[in-house]
Structure 1
Amino acid sequence: MRRLHPDVRADVDASLVPAPKQRNTEGEREAIKSGKSAEIWPDEPNKAAQKDTDARWTLKIGGKVRHREDDTPLLMIALPVFSYKSHISSDRRYGFMREMAVTSASTADGRFPRHVVSTDNTSCEVWADSAYRSKRNEKWLSDRMLTSRIHRRKPKGKPMPRAIARANAAKSSIRAHVEHVFAHQKNRFGLFIRTIGLARVEAKLTLCNLAYNFNRLIFHERRESMG
């Protein structure tokens, strides 16, 4: 069996993984947010064991931003979601997941490129959407001699320059491959979190990512055997 080297650009992205909703009082929610979850149910250990204090609520805004004729953006629907967030990086040639991290849903995507970008990849290009664009991330990539192919953001209060829009569109055609990973897991695997706590969620997502990589390996081996 030939060895599949991660020798092509790394695509970085994150996706929300829904978890069972928790029904807590206002005081309990505030205590969870402040990190005092161990003090909420001291006399009810059975109840505390069934409470997920690591997942968080966030707003999921999906779909492409659409504009009116005067170039003003249309309103978008925001859905509240109680979930965790799966951060991954994959190489484009083989589609394998190379690195992963798991956080609560409220964690910003841009804080986690250093946890999922590997310098073992012989390609120096890193592709990601505009959520990862920041001076801190650009410096981190530059210090490791990695080339940033991260989308540029729209200037605040100004229309998107055509050159940047075209460049972002070209990047999207490459970066979109990482979305196939999440679609495969959610549609074919039916991925949903039913465990409690970050440690168990991380274990489940690790196994799910391994299962996806095995699927990719089987695909490449079959294609090679068929010539």
Structure 2
Amino acid sequence: MTDAERETVKGGGIPEEWKGKPAKPRQKDRDRRWTLKRGRKKTCPDGGQAMQIAVPVHGYESHIGADRRHRLIRTWSVSDAASHDGRALPVLLGTSNTGSGVRADTAYRSQRNEKRIAVAGLISKIHFRRAPGTLLPANRQRANAARSRAGSAIGHAFADQKHRMGLFVRTIGIARARTRIGLANLVYNLRRYLHLDTAAAA
């Protein structure tokens, strides 16, 4: 794909060169996006300035909302990899949440989302964000650590899908990606239910 074609696709259009070739748009995923996932900074062996590892990612992102007690997926959403995670929060809040706390990592923290959580009558327990070049106060570090332990239900669901189920999305278009991820979420819930039912019987 040329740079001009890429820009046209990003704008939601179809390049002129593709018109009259119906097979071409069907074979190109026009919904996927590139982004950089930034990891933790690594200290240089010579004591120089720390380097931050950035990994390019292309595709889609799965967002899920799970209950803390049973680790069942209650709400979910799919976006392209470049979309800000915080945009998925309104869908994840749902309307049947019986818990009062909303736990998520710092990518979901914004003033708009904090207002949404308050309007829904819930309590924000989203991780505190550290400003570049600064350290979090000790009380916020402890709060983040506690929230990480409580939010392990999300990590459990993603780990189960990735390692036990071997989930890998290789579809064309976000509609098919949503279908595949939605089915994986359903399968995860069924497996989780069987585990809970067996444990209760024992």
TM-score (norm 1): 0.82
- Residue 73 of structure 2 is aligned to residue 104 of structure 1: no
Q: Matched residue of 1:202: which SS?
A: helix
* Alignment match of 1:47 (pick from 19, 24, 28): 24
The C-alpha deviation readout for 1:120-175, integer Å capped at 9, x for no partner, is 12211100111111111111111111000011111344322111111111111111
Q: Matched residue of 2:136: which SS?
A: coil
Any unmatched runs of 5+ in structure 1?
Answer: 1-23
Q: Matched residue of 1:207: which SS?
A: helix
Which structure has more relative contact order (CA 8 Å, sep 6+)? It is: 1
- The equivalent residue for 1:145 is 121
Offset at 1:38?
Answer: 6.3
Percent identity, aligned pairs only, is 43
Against the structure 1 CA distance between its residues 138 and 217, is the aligned structure 2 distance closer, same or farther, given a 3 Å change threshold?
Answer: same
CA distance in structure 1 between the partners assigned to 2:25 and 2:182 by the alignment: 25
Any unmatched runs of 5+ in structure 2?
Answer: none
* Alignment match of 1:222 (pick from 174, 198, 201): 198
- Residue 57 of structure 2 is aligned to residue 81 of structure 1: yes
CA distance in structure 2 between the partners assigned to 1:151 and 1:65 by the alignment: 19
Offset at 1:187?
Answer: 1.0
- Residue 183 of structure 2 is aligned to residue 207 of structure 1: yes
The number of aligned residues is 199
The C-alpha deviation readout for 1:78-110, integer Å capped at 9, x for no partner, is 111111011110001111100011111111011
Q: Which amino acid aligns with 1:130?
A: T
CA distance in structure 1 between the partners assigned to 2:146 and 2:194 by the alignment: 30
Offset at 1:67?
Answer: 6.2
Offset at 1:207?
Answer: 0.5
Q: Is the 8 A contact 1:31 1:40 kept in 2?
A: no
Q: Is the 8 A contact 1:61 1:78 kept in 2?
A: yes
TM-score (norm 2): 0.91
Cα RMSD for the two superposed structures: 1.9
Offset at 1:44?
Answer: 1.4
CA distance in structure 1 between the partners assigned to 2:168 and 2:17 by the alignment: 27
* Alignment match of 1:130 (pick from 97, 100, 106): 106
* Alignment match of 2:7 (pick from 6, 27, 30): 30
Q: Matched residue of 2:146: which SS?
A: helix
Q: Matched residue of 1:128: which SS?
A: coil
Offset at 1:220?
Answer: 0.6
- Residue 135 of structure 2 is aligned to residue 162 of structure 1: no
